[in-house]
Structure 1
């Protein structure tokens, strides 16, 4: 597939890897639509992700995530999607992403140590890690979770080493892959 045929780029990776920021930069630089699946879910449910997890549970959230992803893949053109950290790991989401003809899936890969450092100040904002009371517990959680999710992330079309790179550098690197 040559560069001009790519109409959708989806960024995946563990929470805190920079998917939202990098996706917004790519969309802005290339005049594309920016879509964040978590924001779509929040708007649809009129609740924050934390509130959805608390009030309705993770299973409900994952079902909504799957429905929204399917709708986006079927109906969006020329877009940059920022996927939730777990999106490729549940239901048939990875299969849908891989089977979408005009989409390329990009994994922003960070070490567990870098993810822990980024997430430590944000634990209260993120439902999956809000209960962790020390950086050591967070690091253990991230390492375990990353190990489980790596299988899915590594099936991406492109794997970008995001360690020690700014969002600006990452957006330019991804743009250079496709445009």
Structure 2
């Protein structure tokens, strides 16, 4: 079975994905790490060179590549992956999607603690991060809600 964990950045997809894969005895794939490995460039470098549209094309290509190459796995997707190129419909057709629905305050706290690792919020102050997350999450929630399962 293919399991896809979706949700906003810093919601816990990677940690939960590793735990779930270990529990099930199957492969764990972090889609962003897979992209970095295949492209030999960091996500910020890809964004700088190709823009968001270019990154999203690569993201879709590698999502499909992982599905073709591997049987059973647990994948943590990037926060935007379900929102572009019909990726959410593709993941739902390929396996079981799980929305990790983490409270906004928890996400914001995690982003503030690790904001240097997240270029999208690194230049924002704490209040701006909160406002950004609320606005951005509202845009992405309709995609996340298409998951077959939701966990808190």
Q: TM-score, normalised by structure 2?
A: 0.95
Quote the Cα distance in structure 2 between the aligned partners of 1:30 and 1:118: 27
Q: Which residue of structure 1 lines up, in the alignment, with residue 136 of structure 2? A: 145
Q: State the SS of the aligned residue for 1:106.
A: strand
Quote the Cα distance in structure 1 between the aligned partners of 2:87 and 2:119: 21
- Measure how far apart 1:33 and its partner are: 0.4
- Measure how far apart 1:57 and its partner are: 1.7
Q: Which residue of structure 2 lines up, in the alignment, with residue 127 of structure 1? A: 119
Deviations 1:57-81 (A, max 9, x none): 2111111000001112233211001
Aligned with residue 19 of structure 1, among 13, 20, 26: 13
Quote the Cα distance in structure 1 between the aligned partners of 2:48 and 2:117: 13
- Measure how far apart 1:94 and its partner are: 0.9
Aligned with residue 27 of structure 2, among 33, 43, 46: 33
Quote the Cα distance in structure 2 between the aligned partners of 1:23 and 1:12: 10
Which runs of structure 2 are paired with 1:28-107 in the superposition (5 Å)?
28-100=22-94, 103-107=95-99
Q: TM-score, normalised by structure 1?
A: 0.81
- Measure how far apart 1:55 and its partner are: 2.9
Unaligned runs of 5+ in 2: none
Deviations 1:16-73 (A, max 9, x none): 0110111111111221001111011101111111222223321111110000011122
Does residue 108 (structure 1) correspond to residue 108 (structure 2)? The answer is: no
Unaligned runs of 5+ in 1: 1-6, 162-179
Backbone CA RMSD of aligned residues: 1.1
